[in-house]
Structure 1
């Protein structure tokens, strides 16, 4: 079998694949035009030292010829002529092979405004290559091992540089663990075919305790709001201290109460014999999604089972609209996590603002960049 291209920029293009297979009749030369030429132009431009001043026009003219020659000279390819042949396309493909394959993904990495909490698929590839573990910030408390394992397994699955949980070369399930893309999951039990046990919902239930945790967080935020504007650099440490302080009634802090809910969810799943689902969503903020991705795209929606029988990440067995989620799941808590460039995970809830405060991230930085000017990203905005 002839060698195939690896980069998502090139893979599957019939002309570029013919070049990779050493079909000289497909080589790119002066005067030609087409989307395959535009893909090569983008690849040269994005590398940096090979400018094409007019941009990726799809026409192979003087500027593209000069860029190709410069690239071939830098790579030691002979002859260094203005022709894209098997050596040139192979070398370019190698530069943009996984996980740098998708130009939209590469642009997203380059334009993220909170880089310290943007753990990309490239970072995951480096972590795996070096054999380094994820670790959890002690500030997150005594998180049950089962949830720690679920989070680290999900990160490895969604950020796999070779594809997604759907398989090798499948479109990525996430461009990175970040406040704009992949930062939360829902803890849930099934509503169908049978209603969940009474211990999951109603007064004194797990759902009730989760709601009280949310209400307690809202009270603490209101206290911090008296000191400074919510989410700002002056507000964040105040709220963080409130989250870590023990409550007057129990001498236990918010982190302890959060861990209690996680522990009880596991115990309840075992006691009731009902599966505890983890429902994951990626590409959360619309402007940071791939072009033409909508909210119900299966690439965004995943689930696995924590108890009773741990299961692999897969798609939900129904069309993932909000209405169907509500019909199929009782979702009682939405924990969030942030992963920094040192592979340290901060895990808390009930909302991202709470986890951000524990991690020392000013939430205003996230809010201010949920809807940046799409022109700045070279992308079009896709509605939720």
Structure 2
């Protein structure tokens, strides 16, 4: 079998694949034109070396500027002859530059302007983490999160951020371009709704759903208190809200961090008692302006789930139904949506019930998120 290109920038292009297979009749030379040449031009320019600059841009025309860029690239890579021809050596070396994790040019471009860089954990970060043997850790500020949730979270992140593809397999389109407040930042904790309706134990006055509801209500009350200090989302508001999340109020023995852990612990216990698996439902590519142009809200590439109890080692899979808001509510009883931030040191801050609380814990001005969030966005 002929060797194939690895980078999504080039892989599958019939002419570039012929070059990779050493078909000399397909080599790129002066005077040619086409989308395959445009892809090579982008590949050279995106490396950022001034010697590979093509001032006229990626026109798709192989003229003098492209010839000069190709010659300089071959010289720097020690390829011989260093002539203005894109042959097997040139395309193989250039493909290797972009194979992983920047296989998709749109992915690479999206991170050039993405805000909140300290919490942009890209697939490149994940590749570096794996290659260095570094493990994810959890920020203790968000509490003593049960080990089962820690393992499920880190396992899902590793699968969704895999630089070699998605949980669908090697070379499959990526499940996410990264974890950030605009990409992959939360999951839903849920149980399946059986044919007769939600299991009553989850809905009793003291049940997990009621605990989660009280937790959300308390968060809303604390937000209202912070509103009296400063405009919502501002640094002063964030600081005031963080203090309230971390400090139990007078006469209260369980603060918000404790209540969050209480809900997770109760969910695990009830899941075991009922013999009913806990589902974690994940959505990626949240904000349309930073997702592949071909991926819409209902694209299965955005929708995944894993299981904590009964089948904790099961891999991430797509849900077994059309992933819409209505379908989710028909199939799942969802009671909490923890949000997380991953920093450049592989530290995960996991809290809830929304990103507002998680951001406050790390001192992130939530206005930075809101200012870059489309007003018409609807979460699943």
Q: TM-score range by the shorter chain?
A: over 0.9
After TM superposition, the structure 1 = structure 2 runs for residues 179-194 of structure 1, keeping only pairs within 5 Å, are 179-194=181-196
Asked if 1:8 corresponds to 2:8, the answer is: yes
Looking at structure 2, the residues matched to 95 and 243 of structure 1 have their Cα atoms a distance apart, in angstroms, of 45
- Find the counterpart in structure 1 of residue 236 from structure 2: 234
| Residue of structure 2 in register with 1:38 after alignment | 38
Aligned residue for 2:361, secondary structure, equals helix
Name the counterpart of 2:82: 80
Contact persistence 2:156–2:306 (CA under 8 A): no
SS where residue 222 of structure 1 aligns? helix
Deviation at 1:248, TM superposition (A): 3.2
Unaligned runs of 5+ in 1: 373-380
Secondary structure of the residue aligned to 2:253 is: coil
Q: Tell me: CA distance 1:298–1:141, structure 2 relative to 1, closer, same or farther (3 Å).
A: same
Alignment RMSD, CA only? Answer: 1.7
Local SS of the residue matching 1:25 = helix
Residue matched to 2:339: 336
Counterpart in 1 of 2:274?
272
CA deviation profile, 1:21-80 (whole Å, cap 9, x unmatched): 111000011111111111101111111121112211111122211211121122121111
2:158 pairs with 152, 156, 159, which one? Answer: 156
Shift of 1:383: 10
Give the TM-score of the pair, scaled to structure 2.
0.96
- Post-superposition offset of 1:124: 0.7
Question: CA–CA distance in 1 between the matches of 2:102 and 2:65?
Answer: 24
Q: Deviation per CA, 1:129-160, whole angstroms, max 9, x where unpaired?
A: 11111111110101000000001101110111
Most deviating of 203-212 and 181-190: 203-212
2:368 aligned with 1:365, yes or no? Answer: yes
Partner Cα distance (2:53, 2:220) in 1: 51
Dislocated runs of 4+, deviation >6 Å: 381-384
- Structure 2's unaligned 5+ residue stretches are none
TM alignment of 1:85-164, pairs within 5 A? 85-164=87-166
Q: Which residue of 1 aligns with 2:18?
A: 18
| Alpha-carbon separation, structure 1, partners of 2:31 and 2:374 | 40
| Equivalent residues of 1:236, 1:361 under 8 A apart | yes
Partner of 1:70: 72
Answer whether contact 1:181 1:288 (CA < 8 A) is retained. Answer: yes
For residues 248 and 268 of structure 1, what CA distance do their matches in structure 2 show?
Answer: 30
Q: Per the alignment, in what secondary structure is the counterpart of residue 222 of structure 2?
A: helix
2:351 is aligned to 348
The answer as to whether partners of 1:28 and 1:84 remain within 8 angstroms in 2 is yes
Q: Distance in 1 between matches of 2:263 and 2:351?
A: 11
- Give the count of matched residue pairs: 376
Q: What does the per-residue CA deviation read over 1:189-242, in whole Å, with 9 as the maximum and x for residues that have no partner?
A: 111434232121253321121111111101111111111111122221111110
Which has the larger displacement, 304-313 or 189-198? 189-198
Q: 1:86 to 1:190 in 2, by over 3 A?
A: same
Contact kept, 8 Å, 2:350 with 2:358, in 1: the verdict is yes
SS at match of 2:245: helix
**What are the equivalent positions in structure 2 for 1:244-323 lying under 5 Å apart?**
244-310=246-312, 311-323=314-326
